[in-house]
A and B are shown apart, each in its own frame.
Chain A
């Protein structure tokens, strides 16, 4: 039997390559959906938590994580979805927030636990940095996005929903 020596650290590093299927510039690790990695000999268990529970990309995310870990040389990989603590948009890493802007996606504002308060704050246009923007729709092309329009540059854009 082949003895593999994968560490949790190897896995965390490898998972930095696994991008969100709908935000290709942000990894699942940066997004905060990968919560925990457990290695028991050759058996790997990854705990993940959904951003939004109705997100149709969840299965793809889980599958991509399994696929990437298998490339390290183990077949026994399981993803377990957990709900506690519930995912928070505050977990998205600062560098990932900046990269979101490069694809025209405004990052979610940091909140103190009650995201409803930041829903009232102005959102910066990712195209021209104007704060003169208005909400067009609390729902966007995916469950985690809202649609805004910039009054100054006239471009529509999406914001990742604060949660």
Chain B
């Protein structure tokens, strides 16, 4: 792989790592606040998993960029400003109610599966190996969130109403998951990453029937998604909080 392609792949991995890290932070906010103890535990665990996945992507990016694999992930997580993150906007939105949180996790995890299926075939071996590992773990997430989507969609009038409100807000945000990441064309051509359009069609094939079975109406896609360089105002708050401890003691060992 030439240096230019390595840099593009690193950028791609940092973007999908940012998606994981930002969502992990939102998930961790439920710790101590979830509606029932089991879900408190579940979301803390999902958060840990997503942090682990972000670290794996950042480590592979570090190797591609010739950075130190041991320290670069922390540099990316704790010492960049919000404007340097390339996460999708959806993951930075405040948690809202339980329906919103669950549906966002479901929509995101459902897109992770086809992305990982594609990355398993990547011509970059470390990337393919990490994708196998992450894919197996994600099966547990999707099992959990899809059960909840059904439970809330088919639960009571109130839970169905809240799910529909959440879906109406999240659906257009979710489309940003399938906007090609900078440099993606070359990465796809080199067999390094899957085509975003293919991820989207696989995603639609899995989420649309699940949502309809949960008695939810699929909204319009809305305006075309924003580029990943454009962030919500919420991200800056999230990043400030997430980084506050690390920045108190930049040389600290944890």
Contact = CB atoms under 8 A, between A and B. Distances in A.
Interface stretch (B48-56, B104-112, B193-201): B48-56
Interface stretch (A6-14, A21-29, A121-129, A134-142): A134-142
Nearest to A54: B52
Interface stretch (B39-47, B160-168, B227-235): B39-47
A127 B237 CA distance: 47
Interface string A45-65: 000001011111000000000
Using C-beta atoms within 8 Å of the partner chain, give the interface range for chain A.
20 to 34
Given A83-B132, A138-B143, A138-B144, A143 B41 contact: no
B166 to A, nearest CB: 22
Interface string B38-80: 1001101110111111011000000000000000000000000
Nearest to B44: A139
A68 B136 CA distance: 31
B144 to A, nearest CB: 5
Interface in B145-168: none
Interface residues of B, number: 27
B241 interface: no
B136 A163 contact: yes
Contact of A139 (B45, B55, B130, B134): B45
B226 interface: no
A54 B140 contact: no
A115 B50 contact: no
Interface in B9-62: 38, 41-42, 44-46, 48-53, 55-56
Interface of B is mostly: helix
B136 to A, nearest CB: 6
Interface string A105-117: 0000000000110
B204 interface: no
B132 A139 contact: no
Contacts of B55: 53
A147 interface: yes
Contacts of B48: 54-56, 143
B53 A54 contact: yes
Contacts of A141: 41
Given A116-B139, A137-B38, A161-B140, A53 B45 contact: no
A163 B228 CA distance: 34
A84 interface: yes
A87 B52 CA distance: 15
A161 B144 CA distance: 14
Contacts of A137: 38, 41-42
B42 A84 contact: no
Contacts of A41: none
A145 B134 CA distance: 17
B38 A54 contact: no
Nearest to B42: A139
A142 B48 CA distance: 9
Nearest to B254: A59
Given A54-B49, A116-B139, A161-B140, A83 B41 contact: no
B217 to A, nearest CB: 28
B41 A54 contact: no
A73 interface: no
23 contacts: A50-B52, A53-B53, A53-B55, A53-B56, A53-B134, A54-B48, A54-B50, A54-B53, A55-B52, A83-B56, A83-B129, A83-B130, A84-B129, A115-B136, A119-B143, A136-B38, A137-B38, A137-B41, A138-B42, A138-B144, A142-B45, A143-B45, A163-B137
Given A54-B50, A87-B133, 8 more contacts: A83-B129, A83-B130, A83-B133, A86-B133, A137-B41, A138-B143, A147-B41, A161-B140
